């Protein structure tokens, strides 16, 4: 099962200090890693369209012992004025499913990210649903906004053909978007944990992620 394969990666889970400062990594047995894991302030889930992030986040909210706010890029896009939706300065959706982001979008996105960070610094626990269209560059924008906060970076993967099938079934996305994004959004991105939804249910993926945040 794909989730179990990913969990075995945590047999060599580095400490947070080691990840940040480049110190020698600390190896922990997987059981101890879950039992004494860091309680993060934020989780950032990155995956392509129709990869299953929304379902995982709903399950995370159900299984985690403390309340977590769900914040998604789709909500941000829906909040943009109509003049910026499908425009050069905002966000453009091409017939083939590709997405182009403009300068005005980036300016408001930076303010939105800063707002998410402010909520976390005020005490809210937040799980972010995003699509890293720029791969590593997109992650860096979040790193800059969330500087000083404990963040769990989660990769949500899905086979391109499976994602494309889900896209057809849901009927509310530009055709071709899911297949184009399935692999490209992960290029150059560093994760603390990854799950693959191709054959795994959202609840199984959520539990795999939750074990890295707190003991279940």
Q: Which are the catalytic amino acids?
A: 74
User: What number of CA atoms fall less than 13 Å from residue 158's CA on the CB side?
Assistant: 29
For the record, the structure tokens of 166 come out as 């889900």
For the record, the structure tokens of 92 come out as 């453009």
The Cα-based distances of 14 to 18, 60, 105 in angstroms read 6, 23, 36
150 Cβ neighbours under 8 A, 6+ residues apart: 16, 38, 39, 40, 41, 42
Are the CB atoms for 192 and 46 separated by under 8 Å?
no
Running DSSP on this structure, what letter comes out for residue 85? B
**Residue 15, φ and ψ in degrees, nearest 5:** -70, 160
Cα dihedral value 29, 58, 122, 17, nearest 10? 20
């Amino acid at each position: 099962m794909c989730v179990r394969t990913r969990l075995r990666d945590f047999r060599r889970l580095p400490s947070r200090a080691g990840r940040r400062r480049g110190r020698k990594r600390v190896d922990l047995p997987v059981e101890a890693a879950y039992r004494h894991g860091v309680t993060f302030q934020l989780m950032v889930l990155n995956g392509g369209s129709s990869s299953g992030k929304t379902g995982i986040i709903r399950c995370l909210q159900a299984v985690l012992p403390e309340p977590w706010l769900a914040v998604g890029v789709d909500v941000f896009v829906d909040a943009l004025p109509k003049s910026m939706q499908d425009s050069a300065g905002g966000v453009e959706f091409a017939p083939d499913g590709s997405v182009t982001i403009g300068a005005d979008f980036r300016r408001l996105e930076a303010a939105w990210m800063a707002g998410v960070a402010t909520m976390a610094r005020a005490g809210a626990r937040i799980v972010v649903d995003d699509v890293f269209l720029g791969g590593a560059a997109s992650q860096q924008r979040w790193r800059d906004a969330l500087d000083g906060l404990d963040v769990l970076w989660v990769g949500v993967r899905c086979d391109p053909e499976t994602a494309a099938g889900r896209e057809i079934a849901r009927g509310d996305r530009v055709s071709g978007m899911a297949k184009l994004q399935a692999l490209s959004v992960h290029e150059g991105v560093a994760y603390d944990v990854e799950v693959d939804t191709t054959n795994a249910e959202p609840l199984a993926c959520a539990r795999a992620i939750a074990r890295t945040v707190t003991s279940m």
